[in-house]
Amino acid sequence: MQPIELLYIIFSGTVIASGLVMAGMAVQAYTHTERRSMIYLSVGFTLIVAAATATTISAFVNDFQNPRTLLTVNYFVTTLGFIAVILSLYAE
């Protein structure tokens, strides 16, 4: 394994771990407040984590082939996640 691949795994793991913590905190906040915005926030962070996880796994399984397809799917799912995060700001 090349050093850059190791760094990619480390950074991906950091994004995944922090995203899951934030999603968990949003769910916990929902249980205390029952605010719909916390559900949107949790879904948003979960989608962002899912995109990071799927991209990392797919990159290594496919030996970093088809980067355009990989990045397009990553950006699509990540964008959906950020839309959910934005919606959480406006939810009642």
pLDDT at 92: 79
pLDDT at 37: 96
pLDDT at 17: 97
Q: What are phi and psi of 86, to 5 degrees?
A: -65, -40
Mean pLDDT by 10 residues, the chain (92 residues): 93 96 96 96 97 95 93 97 97 86
Rounded Cα distance, 44 and 84, in Å: 5
